[in-house]
Structure 1
Amino acid sequence: MSRFRFFDVVQSAAALVARAFVPRTAAGQPVDFADGGQARYNLVYATVGAGRDLALDLFQPPASRWTGPRPLVIYIHGGAFALMGKEGWLPIVGGIRFPRSIFADLVDRGYAVASLDYRLSGEAQFPLPLHDVKAGVRWLRAHAEELNLDPHRFAAWGESAGGWFSAMLATTGDLPALEGDEGLTGVSSSVQAAVDWYGPTDFMSMDSQAVAPIALSHGVGSPEAAFLGCPPAQCPELSRTASPLSYVNPATPPMLIQHGSLDHIVPPGQSTLLDRALTAVGTPHQCIIYPLTDHGFLGAVTLKPTTVLDTFHTFLDAHLDPNH
């Protein structure tokens, strides 16, 4: 079994476990928690293709503790553009923690959290999955009042492939060429902050940036080739169109980038490229490369979960201010 296939199996198994803990309620029906918080599962935000529904889950903090419209963190799952769903799989420093535990941390801090599904590369290729995610942002903003969300305080957050989506949302908000017409239109898809956890930013340079002998190939047969419909080196113009580096501009919102120095799946040089581009245009941002750390912040015994999450929380608090 290839290394990539093994990674597929592990992620797929984790997704099945995660889905097993999702309450089986009617789509959109509120689920109340003991602390006063609430969840709504499987809210359909767009219907694409031949009746294919795209859904999101929404988690909200207790109204008794947090008054006024809530800032929203929009989580976009990873999985090599080909795997997983909104239930996700999120490893944190040497062990697996499902996103709902991190979601709970955010909800406890006063944030609403939405987790989006999007079409995977076996079903649709770039730019359609990006159109899906933008449709999700538009739907959430259009329904902000009824969902008690602040439409002016949206942040994108994703890991691996989801980090790419987060960076693309930050750099291409409301860009007509990449907006798509899925779902609700005429509403902004912009975000006011973005967090990129070890996401790719330039598909064509990934092989040249490999940092370990076990690094995955990003050419023929790679997840990136499946997502684009061609190996990146063979379609450079399309690859550039799919790069957030092509769209960084002075209006790009604040960004947090976190990556491991020994990432054998997405080279840390991908985050360095984004760091340089944001610096060049003066966008407020922070880029942290954690030493001796692999994909998913795995492998570094000296890196504690709180080191990653405290920085993450501090960034969100600074730019979305849940106490406002």
Structure 2
Amino acid sequence: MKNSFLGLCLLFTATTAQAQMTSGLTGKVDTTFSNASAYRQAVKKYPTIELVQEAKLPTVKEKRNIPYCKLGSRVLALDAFYPKKNSIAKLPAILIIHGGGWRSGNRQQHIPLAQRLAGLGYATFTVEYRLSTEALYPAAVHDLKAAVRFIKAHAKKFNLDTTKVTALGFSAGGELAAFMGVTNQNPAFEGESCQGKTGSQVQAVIDLDGTLSFVHPESGEGNDSKNISAATYWFGYPKKENLALWQEASPLTHVGKHTPPFLFINSSVDRMHAGRDDFRKVLYQHSIYSEVHSFPDSPHTFPLFNPWFEPTVQFIDDFLKKVFAEE
């Protein structure tokens, strides 16, 4: 059914789509979304929250600004956090993808989470990817798959178990993490840059309040009546002008038998996890494990703050121990 719908969308789009909008490609960094701006917004309703800060842990080694992909003169980088203590057992890896509406935000926002998870025995990587001020969909997907290939290619350096790689993302990053998981077996989304023989498959996905569909009735994306929406900037088309593209970029479109286990951790803002329940129904049909944890009366930016940060870390650790348990 979903493939038939996508085919109809493609036919419709072929005759109706307008020229792709490039006005959003400003080439300038958008600093609209940051931890500080998120705090200023959230503290109005939640005055007791605390922004989680970076804190170097004595048990964690850090390497920052590691180039993972070069696109002409543009160099994409990531940061690595992993246990100092040498271990015979290889480490599960977690790629952490920031949010910001595919347009703003930066990888430093989730360094506290990366540090905390590294302290629990994971190798974590906060990753930069091209945003919609620089490149349109699917450039970000190509970048993130290249990042997975990079960390797998350097598995020996970080003592990684390349069969235990997780994509973890918040908000727009959650959507991207989900998309990486559902396109594990789809070469159409690998991109042509920074290719290598190493695969980009991930074995688990953690989606922190990221949408599962841009076209689901629950979705809040695509309303351009007051301002151009984040997704419209990313795609370069309003939803009504290129529905097929919006459908293609939705993780719900691709979920199937090759999808890995999923953990959903959600705020009380329902539209931020549009399509989640329908997505889980497909996982269930294929006997693929998933979990949902929701924080009542919480802001969309909950992963940045306590009292939600610590239980989020616990949910992540418990989930990964379960899905990566030794047989």
Fold match by TM threshold 0.5: yes
- Matched residue, 2:41: none
- Matched residue, 2:312: 308
- Matched residue, 1:28: none
- Matched residue, 2:144: 133
- Given candidates 85, 89, 111, the residue that maps to 1:68 is 89
- Aligned equivalents of 2:59 and 2:190: distance in 1? 36
Deviation at 1:10, TM superposition (A): 5.2
- What are the residue-to-residue correspondences of 1:159-308 with 2, within 5 Å? 159-205=170-216, 208-209=217-218, 218-220=222-224, 221-263=228-270, 266-297=271-302, 304-308=308-312
Give the SS at the match of 1:140. Answer: helix
Looking at both structures, which has the greater relative contact order when contacts are Cα pairs under 8 Å and sequence separation is at least 6?
2
Deviation at 1:52, TM superposition (A): 0.5
Cα deviations by residue, 1:120-166 (Å, 9 ceiling, x for unpaired): 01111111110000000011111111222111111110000010111
- Aligned equivalents of 1:110 and 1:84: distance in 2? 27
Deviation at 1:174, TM superposition (A): 4.1
Cα deviations by residue, 1:42-73 (Å, 9 ceiling, x for unpaired): 1111112x311011101110224x43321111
The question of whether the paired residues in 2 share the 8 Å contact of 1:139 and 1:184 is answered with no
The question of whether the paired residues in 2 share the 8 Å contact of 1:258 and 1:289 is answered with yes
The question of whether the paired residues in 2 share the 8 Å contact of 1:251 and 1:283 is answered with no
- Residues 47 and 287 of structure 1: CA distance in aligned 2, closer, same or farther (over 3 Å): same
- Matched residue, 2:66: 43
Which amino acid counterpart does residue 71 of structure 1 have in structure 2? P
Deviation at 1:293, TM superposition (A): 2.7
- Residues 78 and 57 of structure 1: CA distance in aligned 2, closer, same or farther (over 3 Å): same
- Matched residue, 2:6: none
- Matched residue, 1:317: 321
Which amino acid counterpart does residue 59 of structure 1 have in structure 2? F
Deviation at 1:243, TM superposition (A): 1.0
**Which residues of structure 2 form unaligned runs of 5+?**
1-29, 39-52
- Aligned equivalents of 1:80 and 1:270: distance in 2? 17
Cα deviations by residue, 1:249-282 (Å, 9 ceiling, x for unpaired): 112111101112335xx43433223223322332
- Aligned equivalents of 1:13 and 1:232: distance in 2? 31
- Given candidates 155, 168, 176, the residue that maps to 1:144 is 155
- Aligned equivalents of 1:35 and 1:159: distance in 2? 26
Deviation at 1:240, TM superposition (A): 1.5
Deviation at 1:311, TM superposition (A): 1.6
- Residues 182 and 174 of structure 1: CA distance in aligned 2, closer, same or farther (over 3 Å): farther
- Aligned equivalents of 2:57 and 2:299: distance in 1? 37
Identical counterparts, % of pairs: 28
The question of whether the paired residues in 2 share the 8 Å contact of 1:262 and 1:291 is answered with no
Given the two structures, how large is their TM-score scaled by the length of structure 1?
0.78
- Aligned equivalents of 1:198 and 1:145: distance in 2? 33
- Matched residue, 1:30: none
Which amino acid counterpart does residue 186 of structure 1 have in structure 2? K
After superposing the two structures, state which structure 1 stretch, 171-180 or 285-294, moved more: 285-294
Deviation at 1:196, TM superposition (A): 0.3
- What are the residue-to-residue correspondences of 1:70-109 with 2, within 5 Å? 70-88=91-109, 99-109=110-120
Deviation at 1:306, TM superposition (A): 3.8
- Matched residue, 1:96: none
- Aligned equivalents of 2:73 and 2:308: distance in 1? 44
Give the SS at the match of 1:103. Answer: helix
Which amino acid counterpart does residue 55 of structure 1 have in structure 2? A
Count of aligned pairs: 280
- Residues 143 and 174 of structure 1: CA distance in aligned 2, closer, same or farther (over 3 Å): farther
Given the two structures, how large is their TM-score scaled by the length of structure 2?
0.77
Give the SS at the match of 2:107. Answer: coil
